[in-house]
Chains A and B, each alone.
Chain A
Amino acid sequence: MLLKYELQETARYMGYKHGAEPSEEICELVDEAYIELCKVIQPKYIYKEYDFTRTEDGIMVDGIEFKSKKLLTHIRKSTSIILFGATLGQGADALIRKYSVTDIAMTAVAQAVAGSMVENLCDIACDEMKKEIKGEHRPRFSPGYGDFHISAQEDFFRLLPMNKQLGISLSDGFMMTPTKTVTAFIGVIKE
């Protein structure tokens, strides 16, 4: 799977403000980071569609409640819900670790490029899901957004085999490693 990055998005992740554009020299670093990342990433994703019910504070999926009113509004009208996970794998983290001792500028650049690439992976995956799961797909909504507490990751991992199939593990603080990983809920409105 060939992943791309978006320069504007990457620049934003690198701290560029007000639409400022990276110089030619920085663009060269961005390209270099992209090429090196392409050599080491193992992009993978998984998803699973579930029925769900609405509760007062959120949703109930297979007996597990996810509390977030923002999530409720986000998936309004949805008739089912997809649990989705995607990762660039451990190679990206290892490369960024390497840069952190050899070239700190490349650390910041690679970090941003990898961020943009994981977004691209999510987009590719979502397009694939649309082919298989018919209906209107609402935008992705992740634990940690708005009022959706990050600790929901633990229950999310019970419903989707993030660890077994993607090799993702959760720290005590509910952070995912490898770090270039995304989890999300996607509401589906069936006609």
Chain B
Amino acid sequence: MKFKEKFGKEILFFDGAMGTMLQKNGLKTGELPENMNITHPDVLLKIHKEYLDAGCNVITTNTFGANSLKFNNVKEIITSAVSLAKKSAEEYDRDTFVALDVGPIGRLLEPCGDLPFEQAYELFKEQVIAGENAGADLVLIETMGDLYEIKAAVLAAKENTNLPVLVSMIFDEKGILLTGADIKTAVVTLEGLGVDGIGMNCGLGPDQMLELLKEMKEYSSTPIFIQPNAGLPISVNGKTTYNVTPEEFAEKQLEILKNGACALGGCCGTTPEHIKAMIDLCKNEKIIENAKKSYTAVSSYSKTVIFNEKPVIIGERINPTGKKLLKEALRNNDMDYIYREGVTQTDSGADILDVNVGLPEIDEPTMMVNAVKGLQSILDTPLQIDTSDTVAMEKALRIYNGKPMINSVNGKEESMNSVFPLVKKYGGVVVCLTLDENGIPETVEGRLAIAEKIINKANDFGIEKKDLVFDPLCMTVSTNKDNAKITLECVRRLKKDLGVHTVLGVSNVSFGLPNRELLNSSFFTLAMQNGLSSGIINPKSEMMMNAYYSYCALMGYDNNFENYIGNVTETKNEVKTDNVDLKTAVIKGLKERAKQETEKELQSKTPLEIIDGILIPALDIVGKDFENNNVFLPGLLMSAETAGVSFEIIKKHLVKNGTETAKKGKIVIATVKGDIHDIGKNIVKVLLENYGYDVIDLGKDVTPQAIVDAVKTHNVKLVGLSALMTTTVPSMAETIKLIKEQTTDVSVMVGGAVLTEEYAEMIGADYYGKDAMSSVRIAEKFFLN
């Protein structure tokens, strides 16, 4: 019988600890356990036999860390590990299965660490292919603490093997993964990826896991398996021990079974005795199958948004349609602008962020991937991937960390056939537009009929109704007075008749009419009253958010009116001083004031007069104070931020008028290969930009060649390199050497905590910056010549 036919339908028993058993059989601290598959096959046969004698159905291979970052003979190790397990299992005439054990890589993925997602995927791919070829029955991805790493492993297993995939995670006592996800988020993301089983192992004993299981069961429709440690670890004379006895372990596992787990096993500290006691006590129990859940949810790497009665706000601002500044940012690859739009919308109350970066003149798939990666590295707000380019859609879905919202599919056969396979494979909640080959039906019935067609087609692809959110399309009332009414009725009927959630791009309704926000916010309230589940709106619009907070307050979705009071009556608390001009505002770091004063100055002065006559002199005063130790780094940066606010307003003004200010000079900056600290470099970037330089920021951990390539591509004559640690200074030296070899008259300035002027000279740098301000001074001197 196949594993899939049994798992979740009858109680299965996994084995216990491998590491504990290997240590008992001679493995020393610090030795790599996976080598024992080759050096001590007899030990592995013995351990597997003991667990099989205890009554296990599933035994796990000794391949936890068998990846090519640690071993250069992965295939050999895995082949021998699987063969040993199979050989052991063949001795028994009951159904037994060999699980290919896949543990974490041991290196954190980007953006937290330095391992790229695709490299993680390749490492796992090698493992699972070797495992399947050697005859494993399933892939057991376990002790995972990072959803992103899990995604890489699951994709590797599903794309390269036909084996069932089980995923087991290590939670802390509060039910949180190391990367910050709670149980709900983990379940939502894993079910999106379509794993066959969700579990917990390691870290905790059965007592703690029982509590977490109850929560997991609330969200999971997928079979759950539980492999606790034999209690929490205790250190005795430097040795880690676990003190839950086999009998106690068995009792607790029985309770876990009765609370809805369908398979049991053990992790650290459990032995064949624990497993035998557990099986003896539990084997005649009846399985409790997991009930199907029907909630609609999307997630980020750590947060979940569930669609229910209270409407969900989807921020619409990251979409270039009709936005000059965003268009310009996209053309100039100014990612920070996009990230700031994300942060301000989240701060304004967005639950989900729509991300649309489509412009005819840019490479949309690449831009989409960069935007999604960047946004998810600084925000835990789930994203809505919004594109009509299925290549961009797939690339974004692949690297998205969580279960995203996808915008969109419609009732056209072509659309459904290209989008649904992606939704099925990567997971997601997809926005379904009620239009098809014949356009948008004018009647409610017509749009509902398309919705039904979409539901049925999705079902053919194995996509459940809960993962579809319907957009009945909002047409402007200026072309037909009944348009709003039809849309509202559709929203009501979609919910009532078809039992699905809804979404609307609200602002279309007012197209062509004056004072649009008023109509939009009124329509938004009406739509919510008709059951709208989510609105794609501008969360930075006070009127829209006031409508939302008022609606939630009136309908009882706002506990103690917290959001209503907190947001509708918000006032800025910056000191109001009347005699503060722009220059003083910058020196003192008063952002709000600087905003107002910039607007005022723009009425009588040209942008250049403001920049050269006010902003730069103000920055210079603060800069000098910094150099004289009268102002320190935070003060310098507050002024820089404030000047930045002013520059932003000036830029808006310029874009509106279709002009530009000339940049003073181009500079490439980067943190060198091997160094992951980029705060110093980021500070330098902001200061240089303030002074009008065009800064090309290559990021951190950048190879010498990538820096040289950027210098050549952008024809740059000044490069700034940062390194924080003594260990990465050689990498800086190497970079300088390569720059000097491959380019002519390019100068290099260097900075970083451990550098000194002598050292800078020794490694061939042209300039040494002792602090952030000196990079500005160097640039001034350099471009003067």
For the complex formed, measure the closest distance between the CB of A117 and the CB atoms of chain B, giving whole angstroms. Answer: 16
A2 at the interface (CB under 8 A from B): no
| Alpha-carbon gap, A82 to B47, bound state (A) | 32
The 8 closest A-B pairs by CB, nearest first: A167-B178, A105-B637, A173-B674, A98-B378, A169-B108, A158-B30, A15-B633, A101-B339
Tally A residues with Cβ within 8 Å of B: 65
Main SS class of interface, B: loop
A105-B679 in contact (CB<8A) = no
17 A–B pairs (Cβ distance < 8 Å), ordered by A:
A18-B629, A89-B178, A90-B178, A100-B682, A102-B339, A104-B682, A107-B679, A107-B683, A158-B30, A163-B106, A164-B170, A169-B106, A171-B107, A171-B114, A173-B674, A173-B675, A175-B727
For the complex formed, measure the closest distance between the CB of A23 and the CB atoms of chain B, giving whole angstroms. Answer: 7
- Contacts of B615-651 to chain A: CB distance below 8 A: 629, 632-635, 637-638, 640-641
B63 at the interface (CB under 8 A from A): no
Which B residues have a C-beta under 8 Å from some C-beta of A?
A: 28-30, 104, 106-108, 111-115, 143, 145-146, 170, 172, 176, 178-180, 202-203, 235, 237-238, 240, 336, 339-340, 343-344, 377-380, 588-589, 629, 632-635, 637-638, 640-641, 674-679, 682-683, 686, 701, 725-728, 731, 771
Inter-chain contacts of A155 with B (CB < 8 A): 30
Which of A11, A20, A101 sits near B340, CB closer than 8 Å? A101
Given A22-B632, A98-B343, A177-B676, A167 and B179 touching (CB < 8 A)? Answer: yes
Given A104-B640, A105-B640, A108-B637, A48 and B240 touching (CB < 8 A)? Answer: yes
- Residue of B106, B377, B635 contacting most chain A CB atoms (<10 Å): B635
Q: Which residue of B lies closest to A23 (CB)?
A: B635
| Alpha-carbon gap, A49 to B640, bound state (A) | 48
Inter-chain contacts of A135 with B (CB < 8 A): none
B343-A102 in contact (CB<8A) = yes
| Alpha-carbon gap, A177 to B676, bound state (A) | 9
A178 at the interface (CB under 8 A from B): yes
Inter-chain contacts of A170 with B (CB < 8 A): 107
A26-B178 in contact (CB<8A) = no
Interface string of A150-168 (1 = CB under 8 A from B): 1100010011000111111
Given A42-B176, A103-B641, A22 and B634 touching (CB < 8 A)? Answer: yes
| Alpha-carbon gap, A104 to B686, bound state (A) | 7
| Alpha-carbon gap, A93 to B677, bound state (A) | 11
Inter-chain contacts of A63 with B (CB < 8 A): 28-30
For the complex formed, measure the closest distance between the CB of B475 and the CB atoms of chain A, giving whole angstroms. Answer: 37
For the complex formed, measure the closest distance between the CB of A16 and the CB atoms of chain B, giving whole angstroms. Answer: 5
A128 at the interface (CB under 8 A from B): no
For the complex formed, measure the closest distance between the CB of B61 and the CB atoms of chain A, giving whole angstroms. Answer: 18
Inter-chain contacts of B675 with A (CB < 8 A): 173, 175
Inter-chain contacts of A80 with B (CB < 8 A): 238
For the complex formed, measure the closest distance between the CB of B706 and the CB atoms of chain A, giving whole angstroms. Answer: 16
| Alpha-carbon gap, A181 to B112, bound state (A) | 13
Main SS class of interface, A: mixed
| Alpha-carbon gap, A11 to B633, bound state (A) | 10
| Alpha-carbon gap, A113 to B682, bound state (A) | 18
Inter-chain contacts of B180 with A (CB < 8 A): 40, 42, 89-91
B640-A101 in contact (CB<8A) = no
A171-B634 in contact (CB<8A) = no
Q: Which residue of A lies closest to B728 (CB)?
A: A173
- Residue of B145, B238, B728 contacting most chain A CB atoms (<10 Å): B238
A108-B240 in contact (CB<8A) = no
Given A62-B29, A97-B378, A90 and B179 touching (CB < 8 A)? Answer: yes
A35 at the interface (CB under 8 A from B): no
| Alpha-carbon gap, A69 to B725, bound state (A) | 21
A182 at the interface (CB under 8 A from B): no
- Residue of A25, A104, A168 contacting most chain B CB atoms (<10 Å): A104
Inter-chain contacts of A124 with B (CB < 8 A): none
Q: Which residue of B lies closest to A90 (CB)?
A: B112
Inter-chain contacts of B378 with A (CB < 8 A): 94, 97-98, 101
A25-B638 in contact (CB<8A) = yes
For the complex formed, measure the closest distance between the CB of B669 and the CB atoms of chain A, giving whole angstroms. Answer: 13
| Alpha-carbon gap, A59 to B635, bound state (A) | 45
Inter-chain contacts of A96 with B (CB < 8 A): 679
Inter-chain contacts of B771 with A (CB < 8 A): 15
| Alpha-carbon gap, A111 to B641, bound state (A) | 17
| Alpha-carbon gap, A16 to B771, bound state (A) | 13
